[in-house]
């Protein structure tokens, strides 16, 4: 877990133009195939639609979705856990409609999984 957090922090540093030590290589996926979400770069983020049932009951909350992407960065599976029932379908649809750049480990595009949090809050 700690290594995955370090990888995400380093990826954010690179994106922000902060120098990373020469020869540093982000760690690969953990034993379960997961990487820190910050290590996966988004091409297209689709925001979930706020479900009408949740609006009607003034329900707010967070939905954590485990997203699997293939070596091309295309989502292949989205599993909400934990997630309030009213938000599940919307979160899955947003995750599966989003697009990501391929995750590269040692220069090779690799299929990975990561967890992403969708926050549902009424305006």
CATH 3.40.640.10 fits 2-120, yes or no: no
For 56, the token pair is 């009607």
Q: Find the range with the poorest average confidence among 3-7, 24-28, 43-47, 64-68.
A: 3-7
Q: From the CA atom positions of the chain, what is the Rg in Å?
A: 16
The ranges assigned to domains in the chain are 2-120
Q: pTM of this prediction?
A: 0.74
pLDDT tens track for 96-120: 999 999 999 888 999 999 999 999 9
pLDDT tens track for 44-56: 999 999 999 999 9
What gap in Å lies between CA 56 and CA 89, rounded to an integer?
16
State the pLDDT at residue 9: 46
H helices of the chain, in order, are 2-15, 52-56, 85-97
For 53, the token pair is 């049932």
The answer to whether residue 4 scores a pLDDT higher than 60 is no
pLDDT band at 59; cut points 50, 70, 90? very high
């Amino acid at each position: 877990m700690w290594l995955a957090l370090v990888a995400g922090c380093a990826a954010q540093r690179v994106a922000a133009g902060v120098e990373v030590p020469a020869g540093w290589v982000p760690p690969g996926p953990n034993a379960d195939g997961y990487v820190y979400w910050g290590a996966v770069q988004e091409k297209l983020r689709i925001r979930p639609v706020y479900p009408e049932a949740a609006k009607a009951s003034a329900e707010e909350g967070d939905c954590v979705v485990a997203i699997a992407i293939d070596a091309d960065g295309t989502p292949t599976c989205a599993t909400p856990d934990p997630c309030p029932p009213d938000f599940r379908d919307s979160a899955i649809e947003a995750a599966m409609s989003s697009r990501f750049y391929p995750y590269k480990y040692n220069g090779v595009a690799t299929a990975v999984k990561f967890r992403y949090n969708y926050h549902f809050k009424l305006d």
